[in-house]
Structure 1
Amino acid sequence: MKKIVTKSGLASLALLPSLAMAAAPAVADKADNAFMMICTALVLFMTIPGIALFYGGLIRGKNVLSMLTQVAVTFALVCVLWVLYGYSLAFSEGNAFFGSFQWVMLKNIELKALTGSFYQYIHVAFQASFACITVGLIVGAIAERIRFSAVLIFVVVWLTFAYLPIAHMVWAGGFLAQDGALDFAGGTVVHINAAVAGLVGAYLVGKRAGFGKEAFKPHNLPMVFTGTAILYVGWFGFNAGSASAANEIAALAFLNTVVATAGAVLTWTFGEWLHRGKPSLLGASSGFIAGLVAITPACGYVGVGGALVIGLIGGVAGLWGVTVLKRWLRVDDPCDVFGVHGVCGIVGCLLTGVFASSSLGGVGYAEGVTMGHQMWIQLLSVGVTIIWTGVVAFVGFKIADMVVGLRVSEDHEREGLDVNSHGENAYNQ
């Protein structure tokens, strides 16, 4: 039995029993089709309403509607761009960095075309949900002071030249996939990708008026917790669905997601308790996200013990990211996008290279690959993602700045984006 541990362009299979089976004609499996549709709906649910509520509760009440609007409208924009050209450039055959235009507007995809054992149209929707949530993550880093029009311009540029090529490089047989990079469900493609873009945006947009002088506290912690709970449930579609079938690897990814997240919640909570003297709901909620992010690249490759260790480390890493690293970077990232998604995404990607080892309970490396070599490939994939998305994000924000300007006026910022950008108030004044 030959072990395959890289995600192909159209399906993620962990084990290939025989060449005879690989050569057999593809047949639609009703269970796999149902499974993948449910997983797709769960990932869509993560963005609308999960990310919207989670981020909305973290910022001030005068800007909550602006956050919900940014998440909702960028969600719709990405869906349209995905069908127009995004899916084709990310997942069709092409070169090491981009696919081709063969599936623009989904032409040349027959109604009964299959991706593995489920219909390709479901794969289009499943991967669209990943692109949507990745863009949704970014807006949390630039909240409360950016122009709505600038967000939309940036999204078009960044999705086209950052998300699509990185997805192709990692999941569709491109540069990093050819090198053997392991990313089961989006450590590089989603979390590091979005976190670095958000960090660049936070620097370019600048700090909020009064930052460092005024107390900026989450305006609605129950909303934060509600968003966290939705994200947690949806994440099972995110991780288990990346197995591309209702099989044993999906079961492994599902259980690993439960275990790693629990570990991260505990280490974040107890770490905060020791550091600040009290455990908080915000800390526990952040621990959930840290664990989910850390296990994402590893969930289908590592054993349950490895997942627990990754989660325990992820909780500590995330707490360090939003307390120590954030001070070092001197950045105003209102929703701690880089501190959680960036730091825990990097930790998870690197630890995947360790705990995928069969000697540590994982599914094992590709034939002839050692742990040292796999760790180098994981580090390379992290580095390429950081540099690529960082450059594209800088260009994207600069283009938006030149066209419409990045920031609202200080008066509008202090009064709130809800009323000035959207003509609405979340709460009765």
Structure 2
Amino acid sequence: MLSNNIEKTKVVVAGVDAQKYNFDYAISELKELVFANNMTASATLTQKLDNPVSGTYFGKGKLEELKQLCEHKDVGTVVLNDELTPTQIRNIEKITELKVIDRTELILEIFAQRAQTKQAILQVNLARLQYALPRLHPSENTLDQQRGGAGFANRGAGETKLEINRRTIQKEITRIKRQLEEIEQTTLTQRKDRQNSDLPKVALVGYTNAGKSSTMNALIKAFTKNQEDKAVFEKDMLFATLDTSVRHIRLPHHREFILSDTVGFVSRLPHNLVEAFKATLLEAKEADLIIQVVDYSDPNYREMMATTADVLKEIDADKIPMILAFNKADKTDTPYPQINSDEIIYSAIEKPSILQFSDFIQKQIFKDYEIIDLKIPATDGKTLAYLQGKTEIISQEIVETDFYIKAVINPNDKIWLKDYLK
């Protein structure tokens, strides 16, 4: 992770307001992304247009204003609020003599810094190469573009170098995809093992920095032994971690489930990144219950919820049962913890909230469990051991050579226990 002692690069944040989304929120979010990339926004410049100018993004006058603003602030880099075309970036850099970073490149840079596991590193590299490929340009080559070469049919050396670069990137993309497929096969095997365990699967999803990892750690602390070994990384910043964490949560009364903490989302997440991380996001797609964690203290939380909904739809996870978990209520004036239908307002840093949160989860994932009466022969030690070790026993008594047991049973267990039903 980046050290806070490293001097931050000064930038100007800029964008075109085409009134197609909440622009003020988008600019505010862009500044957060800038901060997450170890930069600081020295100034903001915006322009209202029906559509960005095709060749230069901004109008001519606004570009001159941008250049003068950066000179006044002694800034050499501008961060733009949209994904720009290669032509737009080159033209702005030529006119203003500034370094241009668009929104997509900024997010890719952040992801590259945060990636820790081999899978995450490969996924980010893949997205960066896919972003770079259409942006290759002969002017970026050092070879003389005018000189011809034998066998190149009057093409300049710069163009030849460009083609070599394209082939190199395409080969690297193919190589990374192959490596990811191998990793994903291993991950798929692990995921199948969890699916075969019959334990309910719960996935935490939501906007980056909403408190998913804090929520997972709070549940681990409340219900898991050796919790220090199980805790996941958490920090108050965007994209603190890119890796999916999976933990086995054991609640009282032999209630257990698999909990996963997925990569956080951000509005207009680059499509290449969504594609690259689809394998990671399968934890959400294959969950029995999705918990969307929302930063309730953020005034833009509804836009964040919309972003999460868009990503879930893109990975075909929008039909899975979901509950809304409004976190960070301790930073608001709203009473908490409180539950309303399929929503909970809570604080991940306070134990009473987490205990009510866990009860709320149980009511969702164990709602099909039934209380049934069983008659088990005393000689059937295997079935007795299973019931006593894996189910919630409400009452138990011995009459002659049989155990009469009242227990809470899941639907799968009820099928094979049918011969014991009293």
- Rg larger in structure: 2
In terms of fraction of residues, the more helix-rich structure is 1
In terms of fraction of residues, the more strand-rich structure is 2
Higher relative contact order (CA 8 A, sep 6+): 1
Alignment TM-score, normalising by the size of structure 2: 0.24
